[in-house]
Structure 1
């Protein structure tokens, strides 16, 4: 649990500042669960430059509560939370100073979104909240007011959680939890999980991730883990202390995050899995007569396939389907082994490429259309899929046939700005597994929107 906050002060000498406004959002990693926003009477003068910056003046604060009147609420809303702020050392110091004046020790763990942004979004021109938000397409209202800046920090932190493939933030949060959910209380863990698509992380009592999985129904999948009688499931049940998750909305996003994060984190119960998640691929070659032939074969690391398959039967089913869809020759797609004409030619459903009657140029146009649809070799494009919320979409960037990464964008913002797009994207490795995941998903999902860049 996180307490994301922003504080406006009077300015002045170090450790003599007073709070003029505070906004705190209690955030569970997915949504805001509580909030507290208030002006505060600092009982001291506000520096003129601060008045000009924030618009908060002494007249506005005459009837505002003093700090001791809001202190209890601040303690309650930040209880068992990690304090998150943009330049958290400043906000946390101010809070501790105010509590110290009341004779109350205030201690919380902290996370700084400036430092996290430098690690997870490198090479930005500036890491000030205003400029960073602008570069990332995060809307900010009431800049230099506590509520506006705190809400912008919530949106930034949500983006940083998504970019944190090594799950450093989540592991730290689980470890900080004062009341770990022990394995004897598995039902309580299940009750807090969503029935939505995403990636889930099973933690031990040290916060370490021991298993990563993906599901279209996280609650149902975790229930299976906790009720299964297999040897691995029993070991997980004995070690689990907490389950965290990330909603992705898109199954493609969940598949890619699961694959990348297993490789990054190497959980103990994932290590034997997924050395290769596909075995066969579709290849093309041009024969002596100038016709493009297709064939399903074992995947070869040295060759670039058109698309890949988990099994030979799934490849065979695909080649049968596209042979009909694109009116291709059964002989040239490897379905019908013959030295003469194919079966479809005999029933007048093949245009005669098998016996050199159809010109290669005409036949090859249809094959190229198939290849164009199912391959992203040398292409610059965006794949757009479902987001985590109704007003959001997921986006996957492919440049020159290479998968660069994925991210999420608000439907209220255009993604035609290349700089904003690239800052939204979480860089991910382009490997055989990610290529297969994308190929397979593009084949199976007709609703996937493709934008050529």
Structure 2
């Protein structure tokens, strides 16, 4: 649990500043579950340059509560939380100083979004809150007011959590919460109760915060409950070692599958066997025969030849090729599905125009094959696959540039993504490899995304 906050002060000498405004959002890693904001009477004058910066003046604070009047609420909303702020050392120091004046020792672990941004978002033009969120397309109202800056920091932290593919933030948070606490095995039911019944990826961590299992599901809660109620050897070992379960909602199965695949390879959790298996065994390729016709062929996927698309097994490939051949009025004989020496089966029912007997010219036949290839392969294409997001007012985007998978991201429906540079800034980069290509192509063969947005190709270097 995180307490994301922003504080405005009077300015002045070091450790003599007073708080003029505070905003705190309690955030569970996915949604805001509690919030508090208030002007505060610092009982001292505000520096003129601060008045110009924030718009908060002495008259506005005359009847505002003093710090001791809101101290209890601040303690309650931050209890058991990691403090998160943009330049967290400043906000933590200011709070600790105010509580010291009350004779209370205020101690909280903290994370700084400046440091996290520098690590997870390298090469940004600036890491000041205003310029950074503007570069990322995050809305920011009431700049230099606590509530506006804290809201923007929540959105920034949510983006950083998505960018943190190595799970450093989550692991560090678990370790911080574990410091100095008695090592007790948690009740598995308590873990399950905190999980959502939604699509996403889940991560099981041991006592040290290390990921020991990664999975994906349409219903995270239901799937984890199955892990905890199964009685096989692997499940019993998981039940004994799991300390906590974290999760990431993805909004749709495609992103869940992509995230699971890439993170299984990156983290290599000891109880996950899925990441060690090949996702596909066969592929669809093309060759021009001696008569000039393009033939589609099923071959073992050994990496030696460029694939049009890939399949989990031979039977899936064969079934798909039958469908492709029929839907595009192609020839079963040319595609290796009919071993006849005469006209193919589709020719007999007038759904093949006779390429098998050279009655149709290669030019006309090949035009249909090439149209199929253009519509069903992203080779050399740049597109954005738009689909459902994690919330009702959100959409997901998968970016493909020049046929290569770049990554995924999420954006608000209130925000247009027609600016390619802003689109790239919200994208969490992921490795482009044969597995990710297979996952995307397999998904699109069986499912429809909400929209496929064609982009201008990236110029070759």
TM-score range, shorter chain: over 0.9
2:56 paired with 1:52: no
TM-score (ref. length: structure 1): 0.97
Q: Tell me if structure 1 keeps the 8 A contact 2:186–2:243.
A: no
- What's 1:125 paired with? 125
Distance 1:143 1:91 in 2: 16
Aligned-residue offset at 1:272: 6.5
Q: Tell me if structure 1 keeps the 8 A contact 2:142–2:148.
A: yes
- What's 2:376 paired with? 374
Q: Tell me if structure 2 keeps the 8 A contact 1:180–1:242.
A: no
Distance 1:261 1:55 in 2: 46
SS of equivalent residue, structure 1 residue 123? coil
Q: Tell me if structure 2 keeps the 8 A contact 1:442–1:448.
A: no
- What's 2:292 paired with? 290
Within-5 A mapping of 1:129-278:
129-177=129-177, 185-270=187-272, 273-278=275-280
2:112 paired with 1:112: yes
Aligned-residue offset at 1:338: 2.4
Deviations 1:114-156 (A, max 9, x none): 1111111111101111111111110111111000000000000
Name which of 401, 404, 407 aligns with 2:406: 404
- What's 2:14 paired with? 14
Structure 1 runs of 4+ off > 6 angstroms? Answer: none
Unmatched runs of 5 consecutive residues or more in structure 1:
none
Aligned-residue offset at 1:171: 1.3
Q: Tell me if structure 1 keeps the 8 A contact 2:201–2:214.
A: yes
TM-score (ref. length: structure 2): 0.96
Aligned-residue offset at 1:411: 1.1
- What's 2:394 paired with? 392
Distance 1:180 1:325 in 2: 64
Q: Tell me if structure 2 keeps the 8 A contact 1:204–1:242.
A: yes
- What's 1:87 paired with? 87
Deviations 1:17-72 (A, max 9, x none): 10000000000001111111000011111000100111100111011111111111
Q: Tell me if structure 1 keeps the 8 A contact 2:326–2:351.
A: no
SS of equivalent residue, structure 1 residue 450? strand
Q: Tell me if structure 2 keeps the 8 A contact 1:53–1:144.
A: yes
Classify 1:184/1:157 alpha carbon distance in 2 versus 1 (closer, same or farther; 3 Å).
closer
2:53 paired with 1:33: no
- What's 1:330 paired with? 332
Aligned-residue offset at 1:159: 0.5
Distance 1:234 1:51 in 2: 61
Within-5 A mapping of 1:327-366:
327-366=329-368
Classify 1:322/1:181 alpha carbon distance in 2 versus 1 (closer, same or farther; 3 Å).
farther
Distance 2:359 2:37 in 1: 78
Classify 1:253/1:96 alpha carbon distance in 2 versus 1 (closer, same or farther; 3 Å).
same
- What's 2:459 paired with? none
Deviations 1:232-264 (A, max 9, x none): 111101111111111010211111111111222
Q: Tell me if structure 1 keeps the 8 A contact 2:264–2:275.
A: no
SS of equivalent residue, structure 1 residue 278? coil
Distance 2:313 2:324 in 1: 17
Q: Tell me if structure 2 keeps the 8 A contact 1:181–1:189.
A: no
Classify 1:184/1:26 alpha carbon distance in 2 versus 1 (closer, same or farther; 3 Å).
closer
Distance 1:222 1:408 in 2: 25
Distance 1:23 1:272 in 2: 44
Aligned-residue offset at 1:182: 5.8
- What's 1:97 paired with? 97
Q: Tell me if structure 2 keeps the 8 A contact 1:190–1:222.
A: yes
Unmatched runs of 5 consecutive residues or more in structure 2:
456-461
Question: RMSD of the alignment, in Å?
Answer: 1.5
Distance 2:304 2:147 in 1: 55
SS of equivalent residue, structure 1 residue 257? helix
SS of equivalent residue, structure 2 residue 202? strand
Name which of 415, 432, 435 aligns with 2:434: 432
Deviations 1:312-370 (A, max 9, x none): 11111111111111111111122101233212222322100111111111111111122
